[in-house]
Every structure is written in C-alpha cells, then in structure tokens.
Amino acid sequence: MSRRNYLFTSESVSEGHPDKVCDRISDTVVDAFLAQAPEARVACETLATTNKVVIAGEVRGPSTITPDLISHLARLAIRDIGYEQDGFHWETAEIDVLLHAQSADIAQGVDAAGDKDEGAGDQGIMFGYACRETPELMPAPIYYAHAILRRLAEVRKNGTEPKLGPDAKSQVTLRYVDGKPVAATSIVLSTQHVDPDLTSADVRAIVEPYIRATLPAGWIGSETSWHVNPTGKFVIGGPDGDAGLTGRKIIVDTYGGAAPHGGGAFSGKDPTKVDRSAAYAARWLAKNVVAAGLADRCTIQLSYAIGVSDPLSIYVDLHDTGHVDPAKVEALLSDRDVVRLSPRGIRERLGLNRPIYARTSAYGHFGRPAEDDGGFSWEKLDLAETLKSALL
C-alpha cells in the first residue's frame, strides 16, 4: 500500500546550466544531421568549461555537415541561451569538433539487412510514467520546478528582467495529502545575476512574483520556506563557473525522481538509440494508459538487446490504482497489431526521424504539448481510445 501523506521534492535546471548547455549543443548536432538525412546516426557528447567547448562522438551522415558548420551551430546555440560573459561567450569560445565515423561493428548489429529488421542500438532498460497530478499527466514537483525556470527564462530573454543571468536551478517540495499535492512547503531558487551588487533579498524581490504566479493558487502560504540564492552572490555562472557534460541531468529530464530511470541519457542521440526513442515510447504508452482511464498512475518498463528489434520484456505497474489487470495491459502492448515497439516501429509511429530535439534539451522531455511539426509527439493521446475499447 503506497503512502498517502508525505513530502516530495524535485529539482530542475535552466537552459544556461553548464550540463544543459552541453545537452543543447549535442541535440543541435543531432538536428543538423536529421535535417539533411533522416536516417543519419549520431552519438554526440559535449564538454564545456571556461570559454571552451569540445564536441566528440560518432556519426554517420552527409559530408555537408562539416566541423565548421557544427562549430557555427554550437555558437548560435550558446548565443540563444544568452552567454556573452567574459568567461563564456558565444563569439570567443574555442570550439573543438572531434566527431568521427560510427563503428562498423555497431552498424552491422543495428542496420536492417535482408530479412533482418533494424535492431536496437544498445542493450538497456527504459521507463515511462504518467499520473493525474497535473493536466499534462506529470508529477507535480518536477512539472512546477520546470515551469518556474521556463518563466524566468522568458522574462530574462524578452528584456523584462535584464538583471537575471542564464544559469539557474529550482527545487520544489510539495505536501501530499491523501495522495494529492496540496501545498508547497519549500521553494529553492538559485539564479545567476549580471549586477554584482544584488543581494539575495534583491533577487528574491525579482523572482518571487513569477514563482507565485506559476504555482497553483493557494499552494504558497505563510508556512512556505523560501531559499533564494542562499549562498549569496551568483555572478559567475554557466561553464565558466562549473564544467558541463552531456547527459548529467537525466532525472531532471524525466520525472524528477517520482519514477524509475533506466540510466541512459537522451541528448546527443539519434532516435535509433533506444535510450531515447524507447523512453519516449514508454512515456507515450504510460500517458495513454492513464488518459484512457485504465489507472491513475502507470509505470512502464521496456528492455532491449543490441541488434535485436523487438523488446525483450514489457512490464506495467498501475500502482494499485488500476481498473484492469496489469497483465492484460502488458499483453495488449505486446500485440504488434496494436503497437510495434521495435526501434523502427517507434520511430515511424512517433515520427522521430526529424530535427526536433534541440528544444527538448531543457525544461524536461515530458509534459510538454505536442507540436505541429512533430515535436513532443510522444505526448499525444492517440492510443487512448484503442486501449479503452480493448480493456474497459
């Protein structure tokens, strides 16, 4: 029996966080290849430190994607994030591009050949999750931690709050009563600022109205504990303050710790990599299970082996909130006439071979509206009626 009354905390980081700068650059490289060759292969890692960016990994795609083009695209990404400081500037940062050809040994296991379908790009386990805590069927703590930082980024970029810098972190603790979030017991916000004379109180005066407007009415009260820039001055930020790497914020990227994570990062990987595509598929399935009314909470696990097309296992947990037997849900999702969970089947169903990934690199890969060009297609509810008709 799950607990009904408790506190739960999730954190988020802004697009200017050093690790998120790297995720953005890596996904910009993925988009560049997919824009010219939808079947391109990309596994791109980025390191960022004081005025230095290193882009490395394996690719297979058109020769028109040159190191100079990648370097240019990386600069544009850094500029869009907002870095024009002495220790990290989009114009002056040194950028090394060290991408090389994909291993032939990996390619032979993954590529389709003869009667062999495309195999998974690696072994691994992937999880998807959905719940009724928010209209987007996301856990409330991570959803609102993201929302705070997205709002602050908006007012920073549009000039409303020019004293804020790109690097920021948020953390939201919510009180649950009878299994539902009802109040924020603590809010933590650390944000870079360009004016060195600002105090923590000054920064709180800037950000508090936006935070209050972002959280549901009544969630912030006299008992809410605030920690805004608790260490004091935060002027040196981004990769100049702390080195960044692709793939170090996997809990921020998913469910804020409210659900399991298989361990594989998303950014920098083309959708043949099941770390990314199968995690998106698992979220899509879990969200449609909840939207269909089969349960109030759903966790789905998929597992794969390198070179093997179909998943090795499908596991469904409805957390004692289900209206059907989880085994029946598993059986239905294993039916290839209902949904194909091979790497190719996932990519085709969700339309993943498109340049839609740079936008996912900050503020979470889940709980965002599906977009007209195919972005966040895994958030669609296009399977819910099929599941409902078959199981209810």
Active-site pick, 11, 23, 45, 317: 45
Q: Is 20 a residue of the active site?
A: yes
Active-site pick, 58, 80, 84, 202: 58
The verdict on whether residue 202 carries a ligand-binding annotation is: no
Active-site pick, 146, 175, 248, 283: 248
Residue 287's closest CA among 180, 127, 120, 124? 127
Q: How far is Cα 51 from Cα 40, in angstroms, rounded to an integer?
A: 30
- Work out whether the CA dihedral 198, 201, 204, 205 comes out positive or negative: negative
Active-site pick, 19, 23, 122, 296: 19
- How far does Cα 302 stand from its chain's mean position? 18
Q: Is 319 a residue of the active site?
A: no
The verdict on whether residue 17 carries a ligand-binding annotation is: yes
Active-site pick, 75, 273, 276, 283: 273
Q: What is the largest CA-CA distance in the chain?
A: 67
Burial call 152-181: b when 16+ CB within 10 Å, e when fewer:
bbebbbeeebeebbbbbbbbbbbbbeebeb
Phi-psi category of residue 78: left, alpha or beta, with phi > 0 → left and psi -120 to 50 → alpha: alpha
Q: Is 328 a residue of the active site?
A: no
Residue 138's closest CA among 248, 297, 333? 297
The verdict on whether residue 380 carries a ligand-binding annotation is: no
Active-site pick, 175, 269, 283, 349: 269
Q: Is 273 a residue of the active site?
A: yes
The verdict on whether residue 249 carries a ligand-binding annotation is: yes
Active-site pick, 60, 146, 249, 283: 249
Active-site pick, 80, 111, 208, 242: 242
Active-site pick, 150, 169, 175, 287: 169
Q: Is 58 a residue of the active site?
A: yes
Active-site pick, 17, 146, 193, 368: 17
Query: Do 65 and 33 form a contact (C-beta atoms < 8 A)?
Result: yes
Q: Is 45 a residue of the active site?
A: yes
Active-site pick, 8, 33, 234, 266: 234
Which helix (H) or strand (E) segment is 203 a member of? helix 200-214
Residue 9's closest CA among 130, 172, 228? 172
Active-site pick, 56, 243, 384, 390: 243
Active-site pick, 11, 20, 77, 130: 20
Q: How many CA atoms lie within 13 A of 147 on its CB side?
A: 20
Tokens (6 digits) for 240: 């100049």
Tokens (6 digits) for 381: 């509810």
The verdict on whether residue 273 carries a ligand-binding annotation is: yes
The verdict on whether residue 105 carries a ligand-binding annotation is: no
The verdict on whether residue 116 carries a ligand-binding annotation is: no
Tokens (6 digits) for 315: 């596991």
Query: Do 212 and 233 form a contact (C-beta atoms < 8 A)?
Result: no
Q: Is 279 a residue of the active site?
A: no
Active-site pick, 11, 275, 317, 379: 275
Q: 260: which DSSP letter?
A: -
The verdict on whether residue 168 carries a ligand-binding annotation is: yes
Residue 361's closest CA among 16, 126, 65? 16
The verdict on whether residue 180 carries a ligand-binding annotation is: no
Query: Do 268 and 29 form a contact (C-beta atoms < 8 A)?
Result: yes
Q: Is 249 a residue of the active site?
A: yes
> Which residues belong to the annotated binding site for ATP?
17, 167-169, 233-234, 242, 248-249, 265, 269
What residue numbers does the annotated binding site for Mg(2+) cover? 19
Annotated binding site: 17, 19, 45, 58, 102, 167-169, 233-234, 242, 248-249, 265, 269, 273
Residues designated as active site: 17, 19-20, 45, 58, 169, 234, 242-243, 248-249, 269, 273, 275
Known binding positions for K(+): 45
Annotated binding site for L-methionine: 58, 102, 242, 273
